[in-house]
Amino acid sequence: MFTPQAATRQGIGITLIGILVAATTAFAVGREFSWPQFHGPNRDNISVETGLLKKWPDESLTLIWTANGLGHGFSSLSIAAGRIYTAGNIEKDTVITALDLNGKVLWRAGNGAAWTKDYPGTRSTPTIDEGRVYHQSPLGNIVCLKAKTGEIVWEANILKKVGSKNSKWALAESLLIDGDHVISCPGGPETCMVALDKNTGSVVWKAPSTDELAGYSSPILAEHQGLRIIITLTAKAIIGVNADSGELLWHIEHESYADENIMAPIFHEGCVFISTLAAGSVKWRINVEDGKASLQELWRTKEMDNHHGGVILLDGNLYGTSTVTNSKLWICLDWQTGRNKSMSKGVGKGSLTYADGLLYTLSIDRVMGLVRPTPTGLELVSSFEIPEGGKGKSWAHPVVCGRRLYIRHGEFLYTYNVR
């Protein structure tokens, strides 16, 4: 079993690349910004930062520091109060690591056994809320830690708590905090979604079962016509649950290849959008009446079938990569109609984030690209290859925060200056 004391014996390397002045300045501005959960404060993967580079040097960006020894995994990272949080497999344990903005490890804490089967490593990104860190392991262990010290406040295994079993490639959602509730979506015969008291871990409500296992999606909170709705994907459907009562509002079948429903849904102007492997993209309108909600399909297309890199909505356009149809191309869909407005190779299939008018795109094969979105498509402005080191594909989503670009690959975290 991993213990905080064992952290001192687990080596981590930090390589400082940038000059001291650059690192110190970046540290100072970094404290002003936060990215406290997967895909940022609003879970829309959009940063509000400005003053960033509009084009990168031909060779690469300035690499400020590299940290290794974080454990193998596909978790992205969260940033709050001048600290960075991520997770990975260290030997036989799932381990959460907290670092300062110079890459120094502040503490490590275990979160149960590691996932060591197909595609071993962590999936979930830690969620930071009111001085606490919340994380769900691939095996369903949920832990609440003190953000300053890593001390355990409470822990519970959600699969055991609700009598469910794991998905084929293990639980992957990043936990959602809604007020005093921690939202987890374990699926199974008892429930599709659970609200836990964030201070104690006790069950507040359980939504009815849909007789499906969990998907790999992270839930979002939508507020529409006076109704607060938590939306996510199970293994075979899109569901909406009343955030206050746990009532199941809708269940619409949406089956993807190998049950790989992964994308976090997008909510905008009373509508919800998803895109998944082989099944393609769908947009629905949410209709609310007498405290109930239902979905009305507006359009669907297979021009984009996003795998696990995510999709971003910007100025009436949806941007992301496709997998089966238009294989490995970057697609721009019209939000209103679903029309495919453009296709481009870019850096290849991958994930993305957005800051200061530009998309930051990371291929699954370690190529980072800066992309200008236009009304008619995507223009690749700059690109470079991140260093070799991490094992496997570069699946962890990139983060731009505090005028830095963070790229996680396996046991490594690379930190670049983007201002």
Residues 337-378 have pLDDT tens digits of: 999 999 999 999 999 999 999 999 999 999 999 999 987 779
Q: What is the pLDDT of residue 307?
A: 98
| Alpha-carbon span 27 to 13, nearest angstrom | 19
Cβ atoms 255, 267 nearer than 8 A: no
| Alpha-carbon span 408 to 68, nearest angstrom | 10
Q: Where are the alpha helices (DSSP H) in 44-189?
A: 158-162
pLDDT at 21 over 90: no
pLDDT in tens, 177-212: 999 999 999 999 999 999 999 999 999 999 999 999
* Domain total in the chain: 1
* 14 in any annotated domain: no
What is the band of 60 on the pLDDT scale with cuts at 50, 70, 90? confident
Distances (CA, A) of 386 to 60, 241, 363, 364: 9, 40, 10, 11
pLDDT at 6 over 70: no
Q: What is the pLDDT of residue 253?
A: 98
Where are the extended beta strands (E) located within 158-236? 176-178, 181-184, 194-197, 203-206, 220-224, 227-233
pTM of structure? 0.94
Q: Provide the domain limits for residue 139.
A: 77-173
* 150 in any annotated domain: yes
Q: Which residue has the tokens 């519970």?
A: 156
Among 320, 284, 370, 329, which Cα is nearest to 57's? Answer: 370
pLDDT in tens, 94-113: 999 999 999 999 999 999 99
* 19 in any annotated domain: no
Give bridge partners of residue 367 from the DSSP assignment: 385
What is the band of 63 on the pLDDT scale with cuts at 50, 70, 90? very high
* 163 in any annotated domain: yes
Residue 132: CB atoms within 10 A of its CB come to 19
* 81 in any annotated domain: yes
Q: Where are the alpha helices (DSSP H) in 89-209?
A: 158-162
pLDDT average, residue stretch 326-339 = 96
Cβ burial 262-288 (10 Å sphere, 16+ → b, else e)? bbbbbbeeebbbbbbbebbbbbbebee
* 135 in any annotated domain: yes
| Alpha-carbon span 235 to 250, nearest angstrom | 15
pLDDT in tens, 246-293: 999 999 999 999 999 999 999 999 999 999 999 999 999 999 999 999
pLDDT in tens, 284-323: 999 999 999 999 999 999 999 999 999 999 999 999 999 9
**Structural tokens at position 413:** 């975290």
Higher-scoring residue by pLDDT: 19, 139: 139
What is the band of 12 on the pLDDT scale with cuts at 50, 70, 90? low
* 90 in any annotated domain: yes
pLDDT average, residue stretch 29-50 = 88
What is the band of 11 on the pLDDT scale with cuts at 50, 70, 90? low
CATH number of the domain residue 121 falls in: 2.40.128.630
pLDDT average, residue stretch 67-90 = 98
pLDDT average, residue stretch 325-335 = 95
* 215 in any annotated domain: no
